[in-house]
Structures are given as structure tokens and as C-alpha cells.
Structure 1
Amino acid sequence: MATQYGIAGTTAKGIAASVERGVAEGALNPGDALPPVRRLADGLGVSAGTVATAYQELRRRGIVVTRGRGGTVVAAAPTVASRRPPKVPPGVRDLAGGHPDPAFLPRLVPPSRLSPGARSHRGTPRLAQLEEAVRAWMAPDGVPTEGVTFAHGALDLIGRLLSVELRPGDAVAMEDPGYHHLLDLVTALDLRTVPVAVDDEGIRPDALRAAVRAGVRAVVCSPRAQNPYGGCFSAERRDALVAVLRERPEVLVVENDHASAVAGAPLHTLTSGGLARWVHVRTVSKFLGTDLRWAAAACDPTTLARHDGRLLLTSGWVSHLLQETVHGLLADEATRASVARAGESYARRRSALVGELARHGVEARGVSGMNVWVPVRDESAVVNGLRSHGWWVAAGARFRLASGPGVRISVADLEPADAVRLASDFAAVLGESEATYGG
């Protein structure tokens, strides 16, 4: 039980706020147990029903979870704070961040004028030349591009759509393991996550069918470079998933093609399957720069109207200065050549690590993208063991809902020569883990 933080309050709202404050300030950590209902009620001089109501509110908002006889504990990723990774210790090689190799990023030169003049930004929120560039970018991959829109990054767009389309308590099918910020976003919107298992071809049709028949209102998935597992849709998998989704045409399908140009795999998009409600999202942060907080999306007419209607009421538009910068880079021949080299290098580095691990008898997943997922029995033992060898990798807990443990290794700047040493160290750490922890 957590004993270093005194929960206060005389009402359910006050007690819940006290627990939330403790979590936000770090006095209550993931896994810390809260006092049993009757014990806390006696200590605060309130009824057991008041404490039970407070705990119920905390559960509803994803701050705590109940484990039967294990009591009520702080959630692994409480929604008052995203699943932020621990700070990288000094003196180790960071392979946990998932960032692109800076060597392949272009130099960002913004337009010379900070204002385009008296143009109505709300009346013309998107630059026509960038709209056409987006259509030319997506259409060859089979994405319908009659309706396109922009947002301040993929999370901004997906969060806006889910908040418009769904209501608190609605269920969303999410990849498992999946991108931790998306998992946190869904919980923060007071929506329920339904885990959908993935493999080398992305989300599995049987798992998706179970989620759809269970009543999910939306599906969020990656067609390639799935983070962290690395799967990508084949044409056959795409067709099987579309067949499942056609059973529930009202379900909104959100396809997050976050790595696109550097995914190292062709796109087999669900949006080409004649679905009723869909959106295909692309960003440029993985190959043009992490500070370019811009996303493009192609949508069905209803989804487009709902997104843009809410955007108009909030930020109104995406900075035209940002749009001009993105357009200039997308149109630049040297930049396109650098992006192509980046995609080839990431594929070579990813394959090198998977191959080296296999040579040591270590299974690893990663057929596309910038990450490799390695199933392990004890995440902490592996992370700490690799740290002692000078490597810092991401524990899989941030990415998982119901799937088994693992670690994620970002390979964007891991040269094949370095992969040889990392794989050897990884195998050694697994051997040490088995000797110490029995697996």
C-alpha cells in the first residue's frame, strides 16, 4: 500500500481530486495500492459509499484500476500523465526514442514573409498548392483523395475526430502492442480501449472481428511500420480486414500511416475497400523533422465535414507559414532524394539487427518501419541488463494492453556494425536473466 501520501477529502469529488493530485505530482506511482474503501472511509470520517464513489470516478477516468482481491491500484499509465519514457541515463546509447536519424533530415528554411497579407485564413484554411501536393502524394497508393484536410499532427487529428464521433464510454479497437501516445489519448478522452492483436501483417482479422462484434465504434490502426511491432498490411490481409469492417459500416476506420515515405514497405490501404467511414492520416515528422507538427488526411465526406467543423471552432486553421514550409520541402528534389536514402537506410539497419539477433537465437519482429520488437520474459531485467552494456531500449509496458512483454529498439541511427555488438550483448543479457530470474 502507498503510505507516503495522505489522501484527503470529505466528499467523493475531493477524495478523487486528492488521489489525482498525488498521481500527477508523482507521490503515487503506477502500481501503488490505494487503501481499502472502509479503511480510508474510517480515516477520513466519511461513509464507505463516499469513498466507493470516488474510486469509481477514478476508475472511469483511467487513473486507477481494480484487481479483484489485489485491491485498487494506480493504473500503469494514469491519464493525468502520458506514458512518458524514463529519462535516458548518461553515458548510454539511446535506442528508445523512435526518432529519425538527423543525418537524413533537411535543413528547415521558412518562407521569407511571416504573413501572407490580408487573406482570410478561416475562409481558405488550406493552401491550394499543398492540397494538390497531398493528392499527388496519396493517390498513387490507392487512397481516395476527393476530400483532404490538414491538422497539427496525427494525434491532434485523431483526437479531434474521436471526440466528435464518439461519446464517453464508447469502445475503440486499438493495436496491441500499439503506439503508447494513442493508447493514452483514447483513455484521456474517456473512451474504452479494446485490444486487437497484431502480427507481421498488422492487426489480425480474427481479433478485429471479435472487437467489431463486441461493439467498437472506431478502429485505429497502422497499415505499415506499425509501432512498435513493425507489421505491415499485405494485399491479402487488407482484403480480409475490409471484409470484417464491412460487417459494421458505421464504424469509423482511422488509418495512421505515420512513417509513409520511410516505412520500407508498400501501402495496402483499407481506404481503397469502399468503406463508408474512414480517414487516412499522414505526417512528415519522421522524415522532414519532428518540429513540423503537420498532418494531412484524406476522408470520406462526412468525416471531413465533422473534422473541419470542429477545427473551425478551435484553432481555425493550420499555420500557413507551416504549410508553405512543408510544401517547399515536399516539392524539393534534394529533399526527396534524402528521404529515399533514409528509407533505404532504415530498412537495412532494421534487417541487420533482426538478422543478428536471429543468429544468436533471439526472435525479433520488424518487417517495416524504424523499430524492432523483441519478445522477452522480463522487461525490467532486459532493460537494466542492456543499460549495463551501454544500451538504452524501451520497456514494452508502455505499448501493451493485453499482449505479452517485450522491448522496443529504435534502429534509425543504428548502423549494421553496431547491430552486431548489440545483438551479442542482448543474448548475453538474456542468459544472465535466465540464470537470475529463471527466464
Structure 2
Amino acid sequence: MATGELATTTLPVGAGWLGSRIGERTARGVAGTVSGLIRDGEVPPGTRLPTVRALAAELSVSPTTIAEAWSQLRAAGLIGTGRRRGTIVLEPPSSPPPERAFSGWQTVDLEHGLPDPGLLPPLEDAVAAGVHSERFGGPVKNSITPQLRAAVKPTWPFAAESWTVAAGGQDGMVLACQAVARPGDVIALEAPTMPWLRELLRRSRIHVVPVRCDEDGPLPSSLAAALEHRPVAFVYQPRAQSPLGHSVPADRLAELAAVLSEEDIAVIEDDDFGPLASAPSLSLGTHLPGRVLLVRSYCTAFGPELRSCVIGGSAALVERVRQQRGPGSVWSSRILQDAQAFLLTDPGSGELLNRARHRYAHRRTALTEALREHGISVQARDGLTLWVPVPEESRTLMTLAANGVSAGSGTRAGNPGTPHIRVATGQLPDDPALVADLARMIARAARRP
């Protein structure tokens, strides 16, 4: 049978069975799930798929949603439509095109910016050091151990008045934002930013006023305009910003500080990439003493098991963070805190951290250069995410999903400009041919009408 022909036998698959396998009930989610079932052989060539209306009724979605998913699968060459036989899974090509030659993209995080488990330091010696550290008294949930405080203090970009800990970077930002804002309050937030942070504020019923960014970070003019809405805080990432990758230089910080000096509002800095960042740690805390809270996560560098995040800055703001902890809130184990202190001061762990930093930079640069060969201009600055311009975000994401690639939405990041998608780079394979195939896939998906 020739490539792309319909199989001569048609075996129907029920809408109920297929619907039970679909999680995300969007066109992108349906296309991604059905694509995976076809590639894994669970839905073999010759299978007759449910009608658009039958599957739409099963999933309680609009028929337009299923029709668009079918369109993306058809564009990927995975399904075809016969006059009397309905929608049929096609016979796979005898020579798969390059973008489908690698079967592992579904197992690679290209959406969330997760670290590569293979680049995390071993924890055996660190945990042993934590177990043998001296314990001390005090409120467990609010205390930072002396070892951890001594380890992070030399790396802090300003003189913190007080310190506390959180169970990971997201927990730290939840506590920090809820410490300064109540439902109905306004926060000035850089845009674009991390989707989960925007969702956190939305769920907390905190209104967001966007502050646009350029290659050096938040624009002072945009921040000044946001202040007219009387926010209670300004929230931004000082370095390795996700998704743009920039780090705010000293002169831009001075400009932002000049704008903020006219208003008595809190500043929350989210240093999510932590010690993996290539840029030095700079902060508005050097300009606005007593008003800044720096939330630094170590989860990307050391792994999520340590639940490691340190919060330091204004004594008043740190105390408000402590007050956010309820009886059932997660607390940071002193053993894990001292294990983190070990990793921050151990020379061998420092070498592994430096190696990981260079490996992440290499992967980021490799995809950037491969995309540029297809005429897609991307800046490889820092972090684990590339901000990729596309003509149409939704269709690009759905086409990629139909090819087994799940990238991130620019809209969910609060993109204030032209359409973009987010492509995570931390777990990219180091094979240049595979990276080239991924770039080719992204370029073809972006060009589709």
C-alpha cells in the first residue's frame, strides 16, 4: 500500500473508549492524545475513528473542537477521510519524515521548564550531613537553620534584615504574594512571566496590571503606568527570567528604583533559577532597603526532593510571610535545610552545578541556532525556556501536539505582544540531529496556514 493511503479494512473504535483516554478536552489535547495512541499502536492503521459529533458529545465539547483536532491530525498525515468509511487512521509512511523519526519527544519536557534529572547532584552525602547537624529549638515552620543561613548569606545581593524558608519556589511565591496582597488588591507583574504565577494570582483573586519587558527587563515607563493603578506590590524576576531569559542589569535596576521611590509599595523578586543562573545576583534591595523580599528557589539546581527555598529581605515582609503559614501548611525539614547548606558549600557539588549550568546553556544555544536556520529569531539568554515567535499560537501548538510535541502557551504567560510559544530546553537531547529535527518541526508547524 502506498504511503498515505487508507487501509482496506476498517475497524471502528467507539467514542466512549476514545473519550475515556482523552484528558485535556481542547483541540490541542484531543490531537495530542490521539496522535500518541496512533504512534503507540493502540489505534492501528485502518481504524475508523468516531464521527466528529459523536466524540464531541462524548466529551461534552463543541464539534468545532473535534473538527479542528482532526484537521491537525490530517495535516500531520496521521488520518484521512474516505467518502463512505469516515475518518480512518492512515498506514504509516514507509520512510518516516525526520520530524517523526525520534519517538521520544513525548517523554521530553518541552513545556514546563523542568530540570534534567541526570544533571542533579547526588544527595547521599548532603542528607547524611543534614542528619548529623546539630538541632536547635524554635518554631519549626518559621526557622531557617544557622547552617543554611550561613551558606546563603554571602550570595544574597543585599543585606537582608530577616530570613525564613519555604517548601520550594512556588510555595515561597505563594507565601510572599499572599503576604502583601489580599483578594481585590492589585499587583504590578512583569509580562510575560511564568504561567503558574499568573494562575496563582488569579485564584487568589488578586488583580494583575502588566509591566512590559524588553531585553533588559521591565520597562520603567510601563512600571510608571502600572503604578497609576495603585498596586500593593511589584513582582518580577531579576535574572534568568522565564520565559524571556533576560537578567536585569544594574542601570535598569536603578531606573526602576527611581520610579518606585515615589510609591511606598513592596517589591517581590523571584529568583527561580537560583545558583544555575549565568548572570550575577542583583536586586532592588540595594536601592530600596526595607521594601524588598527576595524569594530564591534551589529546586532546579538540587532537585525538588529537598523542597528548598530561602526568603530574605525586609523584616516586616518576612514576618508577614511567617504569618501566612497555617496549622496545615507544609514546613521545611531542618535536615533538608542543612542538606541544602552542604550542597551550597561543598566544592564537589559546586563543580557539578557549574557543569549543569554549561550543559543547559549548550542545549539552549543549540536549539536557538537550529531555529535561526529556519528564519526564526530567538534569543538564548539564560534559563530553561525559549520564547519563540510564531504567526499563530494556537494552531502552532496543535500542529506540534499532533506530532507528539507539547510546547507551552505564550498566552498563558501573559504575552502582551505578538504571538509566541514557550519551548523548554532543560531536557533537550544532546544529539544535534534530534535538536535539528525539533527545530524543523517547530518551523513547519509555525508556517502551516
Q: Within 5 A, what are the aligned runs for 1:284-433?
A: 284-311=298-325, 315=329, 318-400=332-414, 402-414=416-428, 415=430, 417=432, 418-431=434-447, 433=448
Counterpart mapping for 1:84-233 below 5 A: 92=106, 93-109=108-124, 110-111=127-128, 119-122=136-139, 125-138=143-156, 142-233=157-248
Q: C-alpha offsets along residues 24-78 of structure 1, whole Å, 9 cap, x if unaligned?
A: xx99989xxxxxxxxxxxxxxxxxxxxxxxxxxxxxxxxxxxxxxxxxxxxxxxx
The superposition leaves residues 222-273 of structure 1 with CA deviations (integer Å, 9 ceiling, x where unpaired) of 011111121210222111111111121x211000111022122223322111
Question: Which gives a bigger RCO, structure 1 or 2 (Cα 8 Å, sep 6+)?
Answer: 2
Superposition deviation, residue 313 in structure 1: 6.3
Are the structure 2 counterparts of residues 336 and 218 from structure 1 closer, same or farther at C-alpha, using a change threshold of 3 Å? same
User: Contact 2:133–2:338 (CA<8 Å) still a contact in 1?
Assistant: no
Match 1:242 to one of 235, 254, 257: 257
Pick the structure with greater CA Rg. 2
After the TM superposition, which of the residue ranges 149-158 and 286-295 deviates more from structure 2? 149-158
**What are the ranges of 5 or more consecutive residues in structure 1 without an aligned counterpart?**
1-25, 31-88
Task: Provide the aligned C-alpha RMSD in A.
Answer: 2.8
1:326: how far off? 1.2
Query: Aligned letter for 2:168?
Result: G
Q: Give per-residue Cα distances to partners, 1:81-134, cap 9 Å, x unaligned.
A: xxxxxxxx9863431131112221012233388798985341782211111111
Question: Using the alignment, how far apart are the partners of 2:209 and 2:130 within structure 1?
Answer: 47
Counterpart of 1:188, as a letter, is R
Could you list the structure 1 runs, at least 4 aligned residues long, displaced by more than 4 angstroms after superposition. Answer: 26-30, 112-119, 312-317
- Of stretches 347-356 and 117-126 in structure 1, the one that deviates more from structure 2 is 117-126
User: Measured at CA, do residues 221 and 413 of structure 1 come closer, stay the same or move farther in structure 2, by a change above 3 Å?
Assistant: same
| 1:271 equivalent in alignment to 2:285 | yes
State the alpha-carbon separation in 2 of the partners of residues 180 and 289 from structure 1.
Answer: 20
Distance change in 2, residues 1:352/1:28 (3 Å): closer
Q: CA deviation at 1:202?
A: 1.7
User: How far apart are residue 337 of structure 1 and its match?
Assistant: 0.6
- Secondary structure of the structure 2 residue equivalent to 1:287: helix
Displacement of 1:354: 1.9
TM-score normalised over the length of structure 2: 0.70
**Counterpart Cα distance in 1 of 2:377 and 2:287:** 34
TM-score for the superposition, normalised by structure 1 = 0.72
Distance 1:329 1:413, change over 3 A: same
How far apart are residue 287 of structure 1 and its match?
Answer: 0.9
- Contact 1:372–1:410 at 8 Å: present in 2 too? yes
CA distance in structure 2 between the aligned counterparts of 1:232 and 1:162, rounded to whole angstroms: 21
CA separation in 2, counterparts of 1:389 and 1:190?
A: 37
Q: Is the 8 A contact 2:129 2:339 kept in 1?
A: no
Q: CA deviation at 1:305?
A: 2.4
The match for 1:7 is: none
What amino acid is aligned across from residue 144 of structure 1 in structure 2?
A: A
Q: Distance in 1 between matches of 2:24 and 2:425?
A: 35
Deviation of 1:411 after TM superposition, in Å, equals 1.0
Gaps of 5+ in 2: 1-22, 28-102
CA contact (8 A) 2:130 2:338 kept: no
